[in-house]
Structure formats: structure tokens, C-alpha cells
Amino acid sequence: MSQHRRPHLQVLVDFYHCAVGPQALQHSTGIRHTLREAIQKSGMRIVDSLFHRFAGQGQGVTGVFIVAESHLIVHTWPEHRFLTLDIFFCNATGSNERKAQHAVRWLVAHYRPRWITTRRIRHTQGTRTHSPGPRHPPTLRRARPRASAVRD
């Protein structure tokens, strides 16, 4: 077995006060379609997906896309107009970092959150690369979608 350890990249993004409104955050079919488009436009390759809409009026959605690079998970809370993403890559290359950035930019342009927080975590097999909790505090910034994020 090789001693070379490649870092894994995890990008956690929270979308606050999405302008699309609660209805768009409680329909699993629409969320699946939107994420599928973001994933494909970013260059990731979809393997499979599974989505679940929680029972009851105004309840959210949890969904996962298994991609060749690893996974993308979404959770929504329509009553708070809140959405969270977990994008994980088994190989933290520059091209995968760009894929994650492109997908997030495209989703920001679609959901139009008032602000977002982003955390990037690099995991290394067999070693502890950070203490419990975030090594760096999350980045809080106003969401400003770029016009180029929705073109392709």
C-alpha cells in the first residue's frame, strides 16, 4: 500500500434567506433538477441520487447525489428559507476545487440567498489535520451571484 496520502476536500455552504421562497425549498423534484443542472454544469459526473421530502406542510428536503468524485448533499428548511450543501471530493485537486466553486456559484445565482457561509475542510487519510471544530472560522459574506455563473 502506498504511503502517499492525498487530501480530501469538503466544502460546506449555508444559504440564508433564499429569495426563491419556501415553496421552492420543499419540492424534492425541483431541488433535484436544480442540483443536477449545477453538478453537470460544473463538470462532475453523476452516478446516482436519492431524495426525500419530509412529511407535513412546509417540511424540507434531504437529497444526495453520488458523483464520480464523491458526493453532494443538500438539506432544506423552507420555513427559514435556509439551505445547506455538503460537497465532498475524495481528491482535493485544483480542478475539483473549481468544480465545487462553479456549482456553488450556479446555486447562489439560482436560490439567491441574502448571505452565505462557506467552510473548506481538507481531510487527510490516517492523520488528524485539524482539531475538533473548524480550523478556520466560517466565512460569512453577502451572496453576489456572478452573471457568468449561470451561463454555459
Helix (H) or strand (E) holding 35: helix 28-42
Do 59 and 77 touch, CB atoms closer than 8 A?
Answer: no
Burial class (CB in 10 A: 0-12, 13-18, 19+), 146: exposed
Respond yes or no: is residue 70 known to be catalytic: yes
Catalytic residue, chosen from 27, 49, 90, 123, is 90
Burial 14-32 (b: 16+ CB within 10 A, else e): bbbebebebebbbbbeebb
Do 15 and 108 touch, CB atoms closer than 8 A?
Answer: yes
Catalytic residue, chosen from 27, 49, 75, 123, is 75
Catalytic residue, chosen from 8, 70, 71, 102, is 70
Residues 74, 9: Cα–Cα separation, whole Å: 17
SS3 category, 29: helix
Residues annotated as catalytic (active site), given as ranges = 70, 75, 90
